[in-house]
Structure 1
């Protein structure tokens, strides 16, 4: 079985919705990291306070075929084509340890549903 890492960078306000969408699309586990986003223009301040947008980075390791399903789903449901909608991408993984049999079986069921 081949795996991919799926990463989503979404506005912090959309975090819970993104988690629900990714789970519905087949992810069995998600790691969430917090961060601040800077855009292509200079860092803006108001009275010395930064105006960076708070963002959440969601990371999940899934069976390779599920990665595209997740990306399509979040693109459509989170309106990622619109400015400020977020960013999502996947990376192939050559080696993975720590995925249990139950997760592998869940991935196999999800992939079988697509056939």
Structure 2
């Protein structure tokens, strides 16, 4: 059981996932998972942000204790947020339950 956890999802330009993980670790996260994908933007968003409509993109998923959520999200935003070259978008999702997560103290 893991009622006190949150998942932080970061979508960023290709090549910045390690920066996001480093920033998250500096705020107390243990690590994360990096996924590769492709951005599918509207024309208006692409023009406003100056990015292509179908750009290769990376996603970082971090599961962390809820009390560390704000610090981790702020650290990632400072390093890789929307107003940086990474064009990162960061959101959090509640975590119902986790099996097999290494927390540093024990395995959930």
Task: Give the TM-score normalised by the residue count of structure 2.
Answer: 0.75
Residue among 70, 87, 95 paired with 1:85: 87
Instruction: Name the structure 2 match of 1:96.
Output: 98
Shift of 1:16: 1.9
Q: Aligned partners of 1:104 and 1:92: how far apart in 2? A: 20
Consecutive aligned runs of 4 or more in structure 1 exceeding 3 Å deviation: 81-84
Contact 2:40 2:53 in 1 (8 A): no
List gaps (5 residues or longer) in structure 1.
43-49, 107-115
SS at match of 1:105: coil
Aligned residues: 98
Comparing both structures, which one devotes a greater share of its residues to strand? 1
Is the 1:5–1:61 contact (alpha carbons within 8 Å) kept by the matching residues of 2?
A: yes
Whose Rg is larger? 1
What's the Cα RMSD here?
Answer: 2.6
* Gap regions ≥5 residues in structure 2: 45-51
Q: Is 2:23 the partner of 1:21?
A: yes
